[in-house]
């Protein structure tokens, strides 16, 4: 082929039949900039968020991965915080090569990291062009991470800044867990015993309504509470809801011992329906009844009190010589307090897909 090209370019071998235009065209060919043939890279899956059952099935089909290998892989990811598969030292080179061929580990992108004067830390995490905020609240004996479950929010509660953004989309499992992994990585909090962890508690109180994204939220909870996963006690996790009644009892049955917080905000249906629109669908009477059923599945008691009653009760306990704590609003100077979270992510379409317009189970 090279010899034939040379003859054409030099004019030899034309038999006198080549026109000057043909020769000029051939002489203008720039061989050096010919586009190389590039293979399309294989799309890999994020190991963060894949359930142990699904990962076991997938890896068994790929090669020689015994069940205990899955526990080892989970330990590298969730306990040690290792993002480089090459450093999974108890796996063979063949196993590591297979993992790298089909999987990757990604927490999302760190887009912003703000520190409040009271020590509260607000982290802006990017996922596929969208952003969510997660907040770390340090206290004397515990550190609580507030995670988001949606980009924006399903409900437009009048007092909530997130509600003004409206719903962009649900987060998937890897994105919910990615917030936790990102925060733990930033704080060098991997590999510690429970007693020495900076992040000891998790609350689903960030952007979005977690029960309207139940499938992803519950899958994230399973990995959070798995001894080989993030190994958090259910008693250290609280899910906050505006009152998605059908899924409150389901949450209690699937995760006995988990905490539940209700965004009540009003004691009568008229006022609550005005500021919390979901109350029009599930009024206070239904919500309270469901909470009572939830409490039967757990050892936690239900408390619904006004601020002055809370202070009065706290004074009684303190005067009896016992320790009492009233939760304070934190991180207000960096807009990290409850109801202040919002990002610049917007909907791509004006109308919501059907699966986002209803409860995501």
pLDDT of residue 305: 66
- Tokens representing 305 are 């009190």
Could you tell me if residue 5 is inside a domain? no
Q: Angle at CA 330, nearest 5°, toward 324 and 334? A: 170
Q: Which domain holds residue 274?
A: 109-348
Q: 56 with 125, same domain? A: no
Residue 361 annotated in active site: no
Last residue of a domain, one of 82, 104, 126: 104
**294-315 pLDDT, tens per residue?**
988 877 777 766 677 778 778 8
Whether the predicted pLDDT of 99 surpasses 50 = yes
Spatial separation of the C-alpha atoms in residues 191 and 271, rounded to whole Å:
48
What is the CB neighbour count within 10 angstroms for residue 264? 16
Q: 63 with 114, same domain? A: no
Whether the predicted pLDDT of 106 surpasses 70 = yes
Could you tell me if residue 140 is inside a domain? yes
Please indicate whether residue 293 or residue 160 has the higher confidence score (pLDDT): 293
- Tokens representing 127 are 């996922």
With a CB cutoff of 8 Å and minimum separation 6, the contacts of 95 are: 63, 64, 65, 69, 88
Which of 153, 157, 160, 338 is the catalytic position? 338
Q: 114 with 90, same domain? A: no
Kindly indicate the confidence band of residue 3, based on its pLDDT and cuts at 50, 70 and 90. Answer: very low
pLDDT of residue 42: 74
Which of 133, 146, 153, 291 is the catalytic position? 133
pLDDT of residue 324: 72
Task: Give the CATH number, domain containing residue 195.
Answer: 3.20.20.70
Q: 265 with 128, same domain? A: yes
Last residue of a domain, one of 104, 130, 151: 104
**313-336 pLDDT, tens per residue?**
788 778 888 777 665 655 455 444
| HSE-up of residue 336 (Cα within 13 Å, Cβ side) | 28
How many domains does the chain fold into?
A: 2
Closest CA to 170 of 189, 154, 191: 154
Residue 146 annotated in active site: no
Q: What is the mean pLDDT of residues 48-72?
A: 93
Query: Collapsing DSSP states into helix, strand and coil, what is residue 284?
Result: helix
Q: Are 184 and 199 in contact (CB under 8 A)?
A: yes
Q: Which helix (H) or strand (E) holds 93?
A: helix 93-102
Closest CA to 213 of 169, 159, 254: 169
pLDDT of residue 153: 86
């Amino acid at each position: 082929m090279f010899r034939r090209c040379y003859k054409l370019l030099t004019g030899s071998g034309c038999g006198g039949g080549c026109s000057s235009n043909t020769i000029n065209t051939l002489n203008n060919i720039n061989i050096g900039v010919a586009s190389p043939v590039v293979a399309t890279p294989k799309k890999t899956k994020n190991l963060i968020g894949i359930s142990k059952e699904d990962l076991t099935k997938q890896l068994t089909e790929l090669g020689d991965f015994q069940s205990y290998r899955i526990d080892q892989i989970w330990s590298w990811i969730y306990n040690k915080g290792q993002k480089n598969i090459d450093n999974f030292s108890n796996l063979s080179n063949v196993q590591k090569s297979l993992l790298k061929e089909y999987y990757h580990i990604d927490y999302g992108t760190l887009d912003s990291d703000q520190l409040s004067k009271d020590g509260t830390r607000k982290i802006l995490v990017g996922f596929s062009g969208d952003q969510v905020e997660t907040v770390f609240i340090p206290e004397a004996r515990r550190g609580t991470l507030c995670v988001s479950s949606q980009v924006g929010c399903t409900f437009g509660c009048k007092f909530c800044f997130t509600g003004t953004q409206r719903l962009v989309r649900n987060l998937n499992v890897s994105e919910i867990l990615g917030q936790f992994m990102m925060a733990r990585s930033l704080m060098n909090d991997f590999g510690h015993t429970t007693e020495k962890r900076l992040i000891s508690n998790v609350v689903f109180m960030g952007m979005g309504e977690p029960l309207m994204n139940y499938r992803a939220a519950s899958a994230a909870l399973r990995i959070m509470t798995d001894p080989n996963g993030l190994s958090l006690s259910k008693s250290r996790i609280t899910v906050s809801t505006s009152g998605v009644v059908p899924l409150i009892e389901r949450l209690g049955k699937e995760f006995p011992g988990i905490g539940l917080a209700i965004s009540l905000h009003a004691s009568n249906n008229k006022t609550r329906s005005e500021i919390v629109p979901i109350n029009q669908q599930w009024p206070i009477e239904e919500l309270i009844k469901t909470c009572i059923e939830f409490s039967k599945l757990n050892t936690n008691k239900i408390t619904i009190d006004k601020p002055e009653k809370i202070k009065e009760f706290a004074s009684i306990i303190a005067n009896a010589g016992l320790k009492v704590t009233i939760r304070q609003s934190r991180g207000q100077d960096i807009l990290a307090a409850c109801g202040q979270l919002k990002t610049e992510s917007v909907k791509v379409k004006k109308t919501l897909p059907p699966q986002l317009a209803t409860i995501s189970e």
